[in-house]
Amino acid sequence: MEVQGMFVGRELELAQLRDCARAVTGGQPRVVLVEGEAGIGKTQLVRHWLTDPFMKDFVVLQARCDPSEQDLAFGPIQQLISATPGTLLDDFPLLKGPIPATMPPYEVGRQLLELTSALQARRPIALVVDDLQWADTASLHAWGFVLRRLDADALLVALTLRTTHRERDPKLEEMLRRLVTDVRGNVRLPLEGLATGQVAELIEGTTGQPVSEANAARMRRHTGGNPLYVTSLLAELPKGDLAGAPVTALPVPLSLATAIHGQLLNLPEPSRALAEAAAVLGTPMPLALVGKMAGVKAPAAALEAALEAGLMRWLPNEPSAPVELTHELQRQAVIEAIPPDRLRQLHAKAEHLVDRHAAWAHRVGAAGPTDLRLAAELVTAADEEFAAGDADRSATLLLYAADLEATRVQRERHLLTAVARLAAFERYTRIATLLTRVRATEPCAMRCLVLGADAMNRGMLAAAEAHYAEAVARSEEEGDTWTGLMAQVAMSGVLNFLGRHDEGIRAARQALAIDPDMSWALVNLSTGLALAEGAPAALRELAQVTPEVVRSAARGKPAGAHLLTVQGAIRITAGSLTAGIEDCALAVRLSRSHGVTALADFAYGLTAAAQYLLGDWDDVPISVDHAHAITSNGDGKAAAYDWEYSAAVWLAAGRGEWDRAEEHLRAAESRSGLEGNAHNSTLMAISRAVLAQARGDQHAMLQAVEPLLQAEAGWPRHLQVFWLPLHSEALIAAGRLDQAATAVARLQATAARDIPCLRTAAAWLSGRLAERLGDTARARTIYEQGLSPGPQADVVLLHRAMLEHAHGRIMHLEGQTADAAKWLDQARHRLEKVRARPFLERLAGDIPTPRTPSVPGPANPVALSGRERDIAHLIGRGLTNKEIANELFVSSKTVEYHLSHIYLKFGFSNRRELRDHVQRGALSDASS
């Protein structure tokens, strides 16, 4: 505990912090969580540590979270950035100036990571965030993204967290813990109370008097060794010698807050008035202004007593040399001790000293129990904030307005509107703290809307539908158009997940009839159409708006980037793989450049699935990692997990990594979180079939895909590009040839009519069926037609390799060994390039002839880690370090670190050697 320049105890914790700093200077990032109850000395420990001589080489960026700014999106992030040289920020336009509340937190985190990487060019970085429990959710998500992407950065992150914060939401508690526990190199420093000897040292340092061991022990027992509690009680002790017999007059207040009240009462009147004004302001402010607000003529003299008591602190190193209460708990206690009339007067004066956002709270504090005029102003301001995309600020202003209304009806209306707006932006962590109040309100349309959003967030689809349906019905009776619109949109999405697509389409069209510009209704409408009628119907709807999205982006004013992601998703599931990937990539670029919503978690997950089909297997883990970085950080939707984990299963299965494939599959099956989720169950069935295919288990393949055949529409039909060939392949392998003929006919028709990228599979499996029926001549004809030259877009790699292999096998059996070798070698080359070990083994076992010699690439015995392989792969594509960092969601420092290891492993001296090596395909032999 730091008291007037002295530091008591915490030597062990200081040593741990020094060790962390040493590790960082050695290229090992560290994240430290200092936690403990209020007043235990967390902030003082970190401040003292920052004065350590070892920290002089660090660039220190600090932020302090404030309970009054929990609705200010990215407020603490902007505090950290404010200390960065402005010229450096020129490369990060989204971080220069106020960060829009609509900015995806992962994107803020990505840019913050690259900014810290740039700052590390000469010196290591320390990011210090105090009072994490009061951070806004957006900042928490952005920090979480940064902390999980640290690898080789010279970055030390120190966070302080109060463990006895009132009204702590369990979900928020979990999020705060995961900020550290999910990070490699994390260190938790739980602070406990001082020991008796340390309490004695603190008392002597504070009072200048020695203390007996008995008195120190008594103080230790009473306060739990809490330094703030000890110093607060000392203010009430009579002057005298504490070294003798146990003090019988030792005050025994019921709580620390009561002790602070006593400390305040012992101050001279001017000092107490100064402390009251500073407490009401709640932010550092120049002494002269605080003194004027308090009505104190000699504020410097009044400050002396408050400083001596440890109640206030002065910050002379800051430009305006401001003052403030030393601890938030002291500030709360001081405010509680101010008489109501004086408190209102102080709030009225504070209004003119703070920014416009903080001024609202002071205006409310200065008002009486009811103030209808101010309530109306708050509602107007809340509407403006919501229109600008700031749901959190809007909700705060509405909750202020609710406290000033005269009637229960208006109070409940403002409360429910606040929560509904939070739900529209998926601020469920904050909503959880308001649900008790919501459930106590009278039934109405908006109450049903809010309860429906809560049920949807908890995965209770049936309950969500019931609430939304009631919201729609009540909104018509109440004439509440906005609530009815939001309920219609939400219900259309629920109905799509439940597999009732016709009803989902109807609900979405009803919403669009109310507001033709409601883009989320169009998202649900196009999804429903794709499920019920097929991709062409959905793409026709989207074609009416997505060109304007692209045009608006060209004008620098993008809107509806998420519609491009939906269009890309539907194109991918319709087999237009390359075009779908391009749509998703454009949506993500718009999100990055303009901070707009793009459903990036879905964009990356679906891109990974398309890359798997196309054979871009080295790109799959990069896309999966991007998707997982967003969803695991809390920025994405639960359904996006289905895609990222499915693609991860498929890739691991294709490479014969059975344990990894099973791990991903279990994670996917447990992550859905939505009851009756046909989307998840369909993708899980496909993943089980893909895994069985790689293992050569046709019976498990059939068991996985046969339930999908029963659906005439919905997710199984929508996703048939991924499973329809698996069904025919399994039936043929199992010898169920009559059923196989029907399945192959369906595959051929689908390929010809709807999904052209399945034509290769149709040729391969049609020929394979002919072989099994004994008609090898027909099989060869089919294979030759399937392999005939011509434009071939979106060829599925495994289908092409299997077709080439089948054709080469027939030619080999007919004695045409030279021509057979050409096709067999092509098949092998494709499979070797993606390291498809199970399929290569099957190929080798099928044709026991020596491989036709080919020009060998250089030997590659080295083993690369997953991150090293990704970086080497992108070097082969010609990307710069900065481009690779952006592509991989890591810092440039991390890229440099891994690149040096890659050079060392290969014995290369420069980038060009590595690029040439990768482009020759030699990297495909490296194991990870």
Q: Is the pLDDT of residue 734 over 90?
A: yes
pLDDT tens for residues 51-95? 888 898 898 999 999 888 888 889 999 999 987 877 788 888 778
Residues 227, 322 within the same domain: no
Asked if residue 735 belongs to a domain, the reply is no
Q: Is the pLDDT of residue 792 over 80?
A: no
pLDDT at position 897? 87
Residues contacting residue 156 through CB under 8 Å, at least 6 positions apart: 20, 21, 24, 29, 30, 32, 58, 124, 125, 126, 127
> Which has more confidence, 479 or 9?
479
Which of 140, 172, 190 is where one domain is finished? 190
Q: What whole-number distance in Å separates Cα of residue 414 and Cα of residue 403?
A: 9
Q: What whole-number distance in Å separates Cα of residue 642 and Cα of residue 659?
A: 19
Rounded to the nearest 5°, which phi and psi values hold at 260? Answer: -65, -35
Q: Is the pLDDT of residue 853 over 50?
A: no
pLDDT tens for residues 911-922? 998 998 888 876
* Number of residues that this document lists for the chain: 928
Residues 10, 107 within the same domain: yes
Percent of the chain whose predicted confidence (pLDDT) is above 70: 91
Residues 119, 19 within the same domain: yes
Q: Is the pLDDT of residue 413 over 60?
A: yes
pLDDT at position 650? 97
Asked if residue 268 belongs to a domain, the reply is yes
Rounded to the nearest 5°, which phi and psi values hold at 464? Answer: -60, -45
pLDDT tens for residues 808-830? 999 988 888 888 999 999 999 99
Q: Is the pLDDT of residue 173 over 70?
A: no
Q: Is the pLDDT of residue 209 over 90?
A: no
- Count of helices and strands (H, E) across the chain: 49, 10
C-beta neighbour count of 88 within 10 angstroms = 15
Q: What whole-number distance in Å separates Cα of residue 278 and Cα of residue 49?
A: 27
Rounded to the nearest 5°, which phi and psi values hold at 324? Answer: -165, 170
Could you tell me the pLDDT band of residue 435, with boundaries at 50, 70 and 90? very high
Task: Please give the DSSP secondary-structure letter assigned to residue 927.
Answer: B
Q: Which of 889, 881, 793 is nearest to 588 (CA)?
A: 889
pTM for the full predicted model? 0.84
Asked if residue 565 belongs to a domain, the reply is no
Task: Give the containing element (helix H, strand E) for 127.
Answer: strand 125-130
Four-residue CA torsion sign, 169, 175, 176, 178: positive
pLDDT at position 394? 96
Q: Under a CB-based contact definition with an 8 Å cutoff, are residues 754 and 762 in contact?
A: no
Question: What CATH number corresponds to the domain at position 509?
Answer: 1.25.40
Radius of gyration of the chain (CA): 33
Q: Is the pLDDT of residue 673 over 60?
A: no
Q: What whole-number distance in Å separates Cα of residue 894 and Cα of residue 905?
A: 17
Which of 412, 442, 472 is where one domain is finished? 442
- Region 485-501 average pLDDT: 90
**What DSSP string describes 881-899?**
HHHHHHHHTS-HHHHHHHH
**Residue whose token pair is 């900042």:** 139
Rounded to the nearest 5°, which phi and psi values hold at 3? Answer: -135, 110
pLDDT at position 789? 80
Residues 352, 374 within the same domain: no
Q: Is the pLDDT of residue 393 over 90?
A: yes
Q: What whole-number distance in Å separates Cα of residue 775 and Cα of residue 769?
A: 9
Rounded to the nearest 10 degrees, the angle between the axes of helix 678-695 and helix 837-846 is 40
Residues 14, 110 within the same domain: yes
Q: Under a CB-based contact definition with an 8 Å cutoff, are residues 643 and 627 in contact?
A: yes
pLDDT at position 345? 95
Q: What whole-number distance in Å separates Cα of residue 90 and Cα of residue 461?
A: 46
pLDDT tens for residues 864-893? 888 888 999 999 989 998 889 888 888 888
Q: What whole-number distance in Å separates Cα of residue 611 and Cα of residue 608?
A: 5
Question: What CATH number corresponds to the domain at position 901?
Answer: 1.10.10.10
Q: 697: exposed, middle or buried (C-beta count within 10 Å: 0-12, 13-18, 19+)?
A: middle
Q: Angle 14-17-23 (CA atoms, 0-180°, nearest 5)?
A: 145
Residues 72, 119 within the same domain: yes
Asked if residue 217 belongs to a domain, the reply is yes
Q: What whole-number distance in Å separates Cα of residue 425 and Cα of residue 750?
A: 39
C-alpha distances in Å from residue 187, one per residue of 18, 58, 596 = 12, 19, 35
Q: Of 208-212, 507-511, 668-672, 800-804, which range is least confident?
A: 668-672
pLDDT at position 854? 43
Q: Is the pLDDT of residue 698 over 50?
A: yes
Which of 497, 532, 567 is where one domain is finished? 532
pLDDT at position 5? 43
pLDDT at position 859? 42
Its domain, for residue 508, covers 456-532
Q: What whole-number distance in Å separates Cα of residue 882 and Cα of residue 893?
A: 9
Question: What CATH number corresponds to the domain at position 340?
Answer: 1.10.10
Asked if residue 321 belongs to a domain, the reply is yes
Could you tell me the pLDDT band of residue 676, with boundaries at 50, 70 and 90? low
Percent of the chain whose predicted confidence (pLDDT) is above 90: 50
Q: 651: exposed, middle or buried (C-beta count within 10 Å: 0-12, 13-18, 19+)?
A: buried
Asked if residue 476 belongs to a domain, the reply is yes
**Residue whose token pair is 């020129």:** 90
Q: What whole-number distance in Å separates Cα of residue 504 and Cα of residue 518?
A: 15
Residues 40, 174 within the same domain: yes
**Residue whose token pair is 């793009």:** 598
pLDDT tens for residues 561-603? 899 999 999 999 999 999 999 999 999 988 887 777 788 889 9
pLDDT tens for residues 106-152? 889 988 988 888 888 778 999 999 999 889 888 988 888 888 888 88
Q: Under a CB-based contact definition with an 8 Å cutoff, are residues 654 and 838 in contact?
A: yes
pLDDT tens for residues 11-45? 889 999 999 999 998 888 999 999 998 889 899 89
Task: Give the containing element (helix H, strand E) for 26.
Answer: none
Residues contacting residue 787 through CB under 8 Å, at least 6 positions apart: 763, 803, 804, 807, 823
- Region 214-226 average pLDDT: 85
- Long-range CB pairs of 576-585 (<8 Å, 24+ gap) are 576/757, 576/794, 577/610, 577/613, 577/614, 577/757, 577/794, 578/610, 578/614, 578/793, 578/794, 580/606, 580/607, 580/610, 581/607, 581/610, 581/611, 583/546
Q: Is the pLDDT of residue 459 over 70?
A: yes
Q: What whole-number distance in Å separates Cα of residue 753 and Cα of residue 508?
A: 28
Average per-residue pLDDT for the chain: 87
Residues 140, 185 within the same domain: yes
pLDDT at position 4? 42
Residues 437, 481 within the same domain: no
Strand partners, 32: 158, 187
| Number of domains composing the chain | 6
pLDDT at position 928? 42
Q: Which of 441, 422, 421 is nearest to 431 (CA)?
A: 422
pLDDT at position 923? 67
- Region 207-235 average pLDDT: 83
Q: What whole-number distance in Å separates Cα of residue 819 and Cα of residue 812?
A: 8
Asked if residue 834 belongs to a domain, the reply is no
Task: Please give the DSSP secondary-structure letter assigned to residue 618.
Answer: T
User: Tokens representing 715?
Assistant: 């997710």
Q: Which of 437, 494, 511 is nearest to 639 (CA)?
A: 494
Residues 135, 242 within the same domain: no
pLDDT at position 7? 67
C-beta neighbour count of 830 within 10 angstroms = 21
pLDDT at position 675? 55
Residues 34, 165 within the same domain: yes
Q: Of 654-658, 669-673, 735-739, which range is least confident?
A: 669-673
**Residue whose token pair is 């967290």:** 161
Q: What whole-number distance in Å separates Cα of residue 753 and Cα of residue 717?
A: 14
pLDDT at position 151? 82
Asked if residue 326 belongs to a domain, the reply is yes
Q: Under a CB-based contact definition with an 8 Å cutoff, are residues 689 and 701 in contact?
A: yes
Residues 178, 48 within the same domain: yes
As a dihedral over the C-alpha atoms of residue 505, residue 510, residue 511, residue 515, rounded to 10 degrees, the angle is: 130
**Residue whose token pair is 């406290």:** 403
**Residue whose token pair is 């690149």:** 899
Strand partners, 62: 128
Q: What whole-number distance in Å separates Cα of residue 216 and Cα of residue 741?
A: 89
